[in-house]
Structure 1
Amino acid sequence: MSHSKRIWGTLDPFFEPGPVLGRKVANVKFLGALLKLDLFDEYHFFLADRRQGNALREHLQKVVPELLEDGRIALFDRRELPGCIARTPYHCFHLSDCITSQPHMARMRNKYSRAFFPVTGTIHSLSYADFGGAFLRHLWPGNTARDAIVCSSRPGQVAVENFFEWLRESYSLDVSHFPAPGLAHIPLGVESDVLTPGEPSKEHAEDGGTIRLLVFGRISHHSKMDLLPLVRALHRLFANGLDPASVELVLAGWAADEDDFIPTLKDYVANAGVCMSLRLRPTEAEKVELFRSADIFVSVADNPQETFGITLVEAGAFGLPVVASDYDGYRDIIIDGETGLLVETIGPDATPDVDVLAPVTFDNQYHLLLAQRTVVEIPALAHALRMLIESASLRRSMGDAARQRIEKHFSWPVVVRQYAALWEELWKRPVEEEPFRDIPHPQALPYGRIFGHYTSRSLSPDMVVRAGRTGEAFYRGKDFPTLYSGMSMIIDPELTKKLVFLARKPVDTGSLIRKFMEVEPTLDKNSAHYHVLWSLKHDILERDRD
């Protein structure tokens, strides 16, 4: 599909202030890579409010000021979507999270766009108790071959497939009437040109040096990973003869100051004889220093909140070998025995107690219940750690292989080009557009149908109206009805004056709307109908009671 301009659109800022979490980092880095690679002529953001717009503009001014100065980035109010989609040939719309608005974006495209551009969204954490409803929204008759959910890992893709299978079984939904979007696999990435190995700064274990194990991420027993199995694995090594002074555990990442898990962890580590240093909420510069000063990266995820594992990719970019649990997207990133070592895990095949409890408890509570029955085998973990602690050559070879793998498969330019290829491929899929135009989304409320009985009557084609006193003054420029913030995207005062002219004598609304659309061909029937009702509300028109 080709147009005079290639325009990329989204409903999301891809930029969020606040605590540094994996989803936020992935989104902002994707956006930066997309804009720096600059594959499109324009980039349109349809945002929820002015605060979002101001924050994004400030961020973009730091990242790609030249695109802002050239007018190639446009920030819109989300209420402008219908009009923009109707008149703009978008190449694609991509959302930062498939959970939020992707099906409703597809519905809006179906209704207003001249050509059905691809609509895509990305998965992040998938394990929240209310996500069944979010994925149910994806099963609706308006899905087309140009709609896709982008899965950052193959295990994550299987989880989405399982969602759809479970929902269809639960609601008896026939796949032919309730299709799902397509699924594509594209990983997250890192800035491999920024995250690079440092110069060796110390001697290694065979020369009596201390081997530094780095754990980086959310520090929480109910989110991402339980660290106690790692401590037990180190204690096992010490009991089997490894010198405790030869190993330092560096724990870094995000945790709340008031979290009572940190003191408990410190006591546990001290009792096990492990030398540990703790670095909370490091800056980007401190993060780079932490990775470059480490010898081995360790991540023993046991929590279904984890879907991909961006820290493992970062570790590979820094040339670190990884010891990780054989869990979720980790096995997409690590080639066992080549770029790191994967430790086998054991988990339940059914969770009936959590299934019932999760919808009425906090996410940290049910995630803890799930994680505490997911086993990262401690003997195998200890064995993997010992292999890398005792062999500098193995660390170097695995670290070098990890760096090469990241550059080839997980650098952001490589990842963004995969998205561009996906959007091109989706365009090639044939879609017969007209049958999709008027398919409503079953979870988008038909407000008129549900609440239409609240008013005394509805605006019917045979209702006779005429210009009101305010309307006549407005037409002559002697009165100025109030147009609230946000309404200027919906109501055009100059068009309203044409309504006054057409209704200078009593006329039924059916005829009035038909004539209105004849003199203003850009109006659709719904917009014309809205202008009439707004004019009645503000005394520009009034019902003729004679």
Structure 2
Amino acid sequence: MKAAAALLYAPDGYDTSRPRLMGRHAAGAGFLGGLVRHAGFDRLVALTRSADDAAAFRAQLKDLGATVPAETLGDADFHRLAETGCLMLPGPDLSSFAWRRRRGGAAQAFSLVGITHTIASAAAMDSMAEMLVAPVQPWDALVCTSSAVQAAVRRLWQAEGAWLARRTGATRIEGPALPIIPLGVDATALAPDPAARAEWRARLGIRPQDIAVLHHGRLSFHAKAHPLPMFLGIARAAAAAPAGAKVVLILSGWFADTVQRRAFSAMAKALAPDLEIRLVERPETDTKLRSAADLFTLLSDNIQESYGLAPVEALAAGLPVVGTDWDGLKDTVAHGVTGFRVPTLLAGPMGDLAARHDIGLDSYDEFIGGVAQFTAVDVGAAEAAFAALIGDAALRARMSAAARARAVAHYDWQKVIGQYQELWAELARLRADGRGERAARLRGEDPVPRRPDPSALFADYPTRRLTPETRLRLAPGLADAQAAVARITAMAGLSGGAARRELLPAAELFQAALAPLDAGPATAGTLVAGLPPGQAWAVFRALGWLLKIDVLRLEEEG
């Protein structure tokens, strides 16, 4: 098959040997390997910016076992992309290449296809907003890795489009196509391995009858997944283990810094002192560690996340997944079939966080850490999911088989590359049809469209949003508001308990807001009704943090 797409290649987008490994690096390397194995191209083409990058491309293809020629194009060869018909970008920056294509002549010469990774950063939001004013064409596309991401991109475009309409009087505003294509995995390489299972469990001191829960990835309470619901849920669910068996949590991954390391250690000791934990750092070169586990968990609560590759790798390894009902996990984890999705809740407003990040007062880490602080994972539902799998070997076996089958059928790179080939063919058809640039009116309001309130932009990530009508009650074990405030104070003082303590209201405000719960459940609106208007909003969104740390529960929870 003639090459149907060229890659924009720089080692940063495809290198997994780096010390600070991110999901986009693993995704890029996986995509390149998938092309080598499954695309069937007569050659593999890359647009590179330097001789060193061209050499790195050829070297990486050799390492991947490519048997077809590698061809690299420099800046002066940009027009030759018409020979392949498409340029694949490792991120969402279609706009700059669309302008460059326009300068070169016919916009129908080739298509541009970008992909979303995180869409929470200022740079990513700017790239997506620019698509509405750049010469992006109907035969271009921004691939969304999940339905939640697609919804967020559309919401951002609605706000930006409304501003453009008012500012310029434009009546047709439209971006590129937004197909949903998941990230893939090498299902063959991730297949369960009994020998590796025995070896790893012996190495970690896990007996055959024990139940091992694996958490793999970056270990970050502010930028990946706060470990509180995992520690509490597994520790409490350990009581469901069969007689003679113990539950072991395998923390596999890497800490960004010593702050994260200390925080995880402190929270584990405070929240799950009796839970046995094995730490395996930087195991990314050994895919067989997954074979040691009986189930996998990632209780993501962060807008930095957009897909969640680790849970899909776990499915391919035949592991039932306890994940959150959040971003890409909504698409990949079939609730009750391949695992369980734990409900999430997003509080707000957070327009101040968007503004502080926009003007440089808060770093990106501070921004996403602030949003995560007011995002709650249902601790009770997490406990129930862990208990169900820990206590029922037959359920684990059924979900294991279903997980492996789902990964092979939907997420193996052979299937995913096939979806890309279908997309490239459709875009080529649109180019051949000669249709002009399209635009459609987009609606929506936001004071600063490119820096919207994250609690509105990411409304499709959680199970539900906190509203004034949401009914709340004190969590089990808390007799009254005074006891609740004592727990709040303890959690706020715990390293990692609150990523942005300065955003929390004073203890006196919490005491006043929670007092009505002494008499029984009440709505969120009732709890803040008597507070000063200038402080009520801050307490309202902080209710999300109280749900997060298991001070509050939704009334309908068991």
Same fold (TM over 0.5): yes
Q: Deviations over 1:420-439 (max 9, x none)?
A: 00111122226776977xxx
Q: Could you tell me which residue of structure 2 aligns to residue 506 of structure 1?
A: none
Q: Could you tell me which residue of structure 2 aligns to residue 474 of structure 1?
A: none
Structure 2 residue matching 1:212: 3-state secondary structure:
strand
Residues 428 and 193 of structure 1, relative CA distance in 2, 3 Å threshold? same
1:439-458 equivalences under 5 Å are none
2:164–2:170 CA contact under 8 A, matched in 1? no
Residues 5 and 212 of structure 1, relative CA distance in 2, 3 Å threshold? closer
Q: State the AA in 1 paired with 2:67.
A: E
Q: Could you tell me which residue of structure 2 aligns to residue 134 of structure 1?
A: 127
2:3–2:45 CA contact under 8 A, matched in 1? no
Deviation at 1:313, TM superposition (A): 0.7
1:245–1:275 CA contact under 8 A, matched in 2? no
* Distance in structure 2 (CA, Å) of the matches to 1:420 and 1:229: 40
Q: Deviations over 1:426-481 (max 9, x none)?
A: 22226776977xxxxxxxxxxxxxxxxxxxxxxxxxxxxxxxxxxxxxxxxxxxxx
Deviation at 1:410, TM superposition (A): 0.4
Q: Could you tell me which residue of structure 2 aligns to residue 217 of structure 1?
A: 217
* Distance in structure 1 (CA, Å) of the matches to 2:240 and 2:8: 56
Q: Could you tell me which residue of structure 1 aligns to residue 483 of structure 2?
A: none
**Unmatched runs of 5 consecutive residues or more in structure 1:** 437-546
Q: Deviations over 1:165-185 (max 9, x none)?
A: 121123436675442011101
* Distance in structure 2 (CA, Å) of the matches to 1:344 and 1:235: 19
Structure 1 residue matching 2:155: 3-state secondary structure:
helix
Q: State the AA in 1 paired with 2:429.
A: K
Q: Deviations over 1:71-117 (max 9, x none)?
A: x32122224314x34xx53321111111x3x2232333344366432
1:139–1:179 CA contact under 8 A, matched in 2? yes
Q: Deviations over 1:39-58 (max 9, x none)?
A: 33333212122332222222
* Distance in structure 2 (CA, Å) of the matches to 1:177 and 1:195: 47
* Distance in structure 2 (CA, Å) of the matches to 1:54 and 1:241: 54
Aligned residues: 418
2:214–2:251 CA contact under 8 A, matched in 1? yes
Residues 65 and 338 of structure 1, relative CA distance in 2, 3 Å threshold? closer
* Distance in structure 1 (CA, Å) of the matches to 2:372 and 2:237: 24
* Distance in structure 1 (CA, Å) of the matches to 2:84 and 2:104: 12
Q: Could you tell me which residue of structure 2 aligns to residue 104 of structure 1?
A: 96
Q: Could you tell me which residue of structure 1 aligns to residue 49 of structure 2?
A: 48
Residues 137 and 432 of structure 1, relative CA distance in 2, 3 Å threshold? farther
Q: State the AA in 2 paired with 1:105.
A: F
Q: Could you tell me which residue of structure 1 aligns to residue 365 of structure 2?
A: 364
Q: State the AA in 2 paired with 1:314.
A: E
Q: Could you tell me which residue of structure 1 aligns to residue 377 of structure 2?
A: 376
Q: Could you tell me which residue of structure 1 aligns to residue 67 of structure 2?
A: 66
1:94-173 equivalences under 5 Å are 94-98=88-92, 100=93, 102-112=94-104, 115-140=108-133, 142-172=135-165
Q: State the AA in 2 paired with 1:153.
A: S
Q: Could you tell me which residue of structure 2 aligns to residue 302 of structure 1?
A: 301
1:244–1:274 CA contact under 8 A, matched in 2? no
Deviation at 1:160, TM superposition (A): 0.9
* Distance in structure 1 (CA, Å) of the matches to 2:384 and 2:116: 34
Structure 2 residue matching 1:140: 3-state secondary structure:
coil
Residues 435 and 194 of structure 1, relative CA distance in 2, 3 Å threshold? closer
Q: Could you tell me which residue of structure 2 aligns to residue 197 of structure 1?
A: 192
More RCO (CA 8 Å, sep 6+): 2
Q: Which range moved further: 16-25 or 172-181?
A: 172-181
Residues 73 and 375 of structure 1, relative CA distance in 2, 3 Å threshold? same
1:141–1:178 CA contact under 8 A, matched in 2? no
1:110–1:433 CA contact under 8 A, matched in 2? no
1:330-479 equivalences under 5 Å are 330-359=329-358, 360=360, 361-429=362-430
Q: Deviations over 1:499-540 (max 9, x none)?
A: xxxxxxxxxxxxxxxxxxxxxxxxxxxxxxxxxxxxxxxxxx
- Out of 77, 80, 84, the residue aligned to residue 80 of structure 1 is 77
1:94–1:120 CA contact under 8 A, matched in 2? yes
**Unmatched runs of 5 consecutive residues or more in structure 2:** 438-558
1:141–1:177 CA contact under 8 A, matched in 2? no
Q: State the AA in 2 paired with 1:108.
A: R
Residues 392 and 77 of structure 1, relative CA distance in 2, 3 Å threshold? same
1:190–1:313 CA contact under 8 A, matched in 2? yes
1:269–1:275 CA contact under 8 A, matched in 2? no
Q: Could you tell me which residue of structure 2 aligns to residue 284 of structure 1?
A: 285
Deviation at 1:283, TM superposition (A): 4.0
**Identity over aligned pairs, percent:** 28
Q: State the AA in 2 paired with 1:228.
A: L
Deviation at 1:241, TM superposition (A): 9.4
* Distance in structure 2 (CA, Å) of the matches to 1:430 and 1:57: 30
Residues 135 and 43 of structure 1, relative CA distance in 2, 3 Å threshold? same
Q: Deviations over 1:194-227 (max 9, x none)?
A: 1101227489xxx992211100011011111001
* Distance in structure 1 (CA, Å) of the matches to 2:99 and 2:392: 57
1:8 is the counterpart of 2:2: no
* Distance in structure 1 (CA, Å) of the matches to 2:193 and 2:278: 21
Q: Deviations over 1:21-68 (max 9, x none)?
A: 21111111111111222433333212122332222222112113532x
Structure 2 residue matching 1:183: 3-state secondary structure:
coil
Q: Could you tell me which residue of structure 1 aligns to residue 474 of structure 2?
A: none
1:303–1:367 CA contact under 8 A, matched in 2? yes
Deviation at 1:277, TM superposition (A): 1.1
Structure 1 residue matching 2:5: 3-state secondary structure:
strand
Q: Deviations over 1:230-282 (max 9, x none)?
A: 112234346899989711111011224x4222123223323422111111111
Residues 248 and 429 of structure 1, relative CA distance in 2, 3 Å threshold? same
* Distance in structure 2 (CA, Å) of the matches to 1:364 and 1:226: 14
CA radius of gyration, larger in? 1
Residues 59 and 354 of structure 1, relative CA distance in 2, 3 Å threshold? same
Structure 2 residue matching 1:48: 3-state secondary structure:
coil
Structure 1 residue matching 2:430: 3-state secondary structure:
coil
* Distance in structure 2 (CA, Å) of the matches to 1:49 and 1:387: 54
Q: State the AA in 2 paired with 1:104.
A: S
